[in-house]
Amino acid sequence: MGASQAFAQDDLFGKTKQAARNGVLFNVNGAYDMPGADMAKRFGNSFRIGPAILYKTKKNWLVGAKMDFIFGNKITQDSFLINITDKYGSFLNQDGVRTSVKTYERGYLIGVQGGRIFNTSKKNADNGILILTSAGFMQHKINIFDKDKTIPQLRNAYKKGYDRLTNGLFIEQYVGYTYFANNALVNFNIGLDIAAGFTKGRRDYLYDVMRPDNKSRVDILFGIRAGWYIPVFKRKSEELFFE
């Protein structure tokens, strides 16, 4: 009798369990974040999405690398473009015509990560509570979008005097549930995380406040995160052990 047949019959009585597998995990994650500390003074809620690659051992240890891109539409930084608007708060282009400018939050995190899955499933040793720690480099800024590029004060290097470019190191902690199907077709994780960036302003001069931007910051993101795995396991899914 083949291993897959034995699993199909004995699993009816709860006697078999999928052994923990080792291999490479290709992962795509998405998160909805709420800002904290200095981040909340500049931005509202935002999204992160990005890839990761992990190596999983038979003992459910994980190590790898990740990258997240930050996207947001709400800027809470007060009046940072006030010195290039008229008394009505409108922007004037090079022809003296009122025009609009859109602002967005943009950034990224890149780093290494490691952690472990603590098995909670009676049927699959790969499934359980995942604790994952990441560390690396974080950067964000206000993306100022002058669609027609007709505002002289926002051309080329002048825009850098308003965008609040900030970067530095970050550490992130994730706790969630990870699921791998025995046939490796349905594989996901969902949970909560918190990322804390120890950053600093990087612009030599801010035109609106007329000073350098070199203050140290603590930028925090509280997130609800979910992801999808594409596993490349080194063992066949039919390899089982008996409890």
DSSP structure string for 129-185: EEEEEEEEEEEEEEEEE-TT---GGGSGGGGGGTS--EEEEEEEEEEEEEEE-TTSS
Model confidence band, residue 235 (pLDDT cutoffs 50, 70, 90): low
With CA atoms as reference, report the closest residue to 111 among 135, 131, 133: 135
Per-residue pLDDT averaged across 191-197, rounded? 98
What percentage of residues in the chain have a pLDDT greater than 90? 68
pLDDT, mean of residues 101-115: 96
Please state the rounded mean pLDDT for residues 53-62.
97
The structure's pTM equals 0.85
Burial class (CB in 10 A: 0-12, 13-18, 19+), 171: middle
More confident residue, 150 or 4: 150
Is the CB of residue 140 less than 8 Å from the CB of residue 149? no
Domain map (residue ranges) of the chain: 18-242
**pLDDT computed for residue 15 by the predictor:** 55
pLDDT tens, residue by residue, 70-81? 999 999 988 888
* pLDDT above 70: residue 4: no
pLDDT tens digits, 84-95: 887 777 787 777
Mean pLDDT over 224-228 rounds to 97
| Torsional class of 171: left (φ above 0), alpha (ψ -120 to 50), beta (otherwise) | beta
> Would you say residue 13 has pLDDT above 60?
no
Q: What is the pLDDT of residue 241?
A: 42
Q: What is the mean pLDDT of the chain?
A: 88
| CATH 3.30.465.10 given to domain 18-242 | no
Helices (H) and strands (E) in the chain, counts: 1, 14
pLDDT at 236: 55
Angle subtended at Cα 220 by Cα 214 and Cα 221, rounded to the nearest 5 degrees: 135
pLDDT per position as a tens digit, 14-43: 557 889 999 999 999 999 999 999 999 999
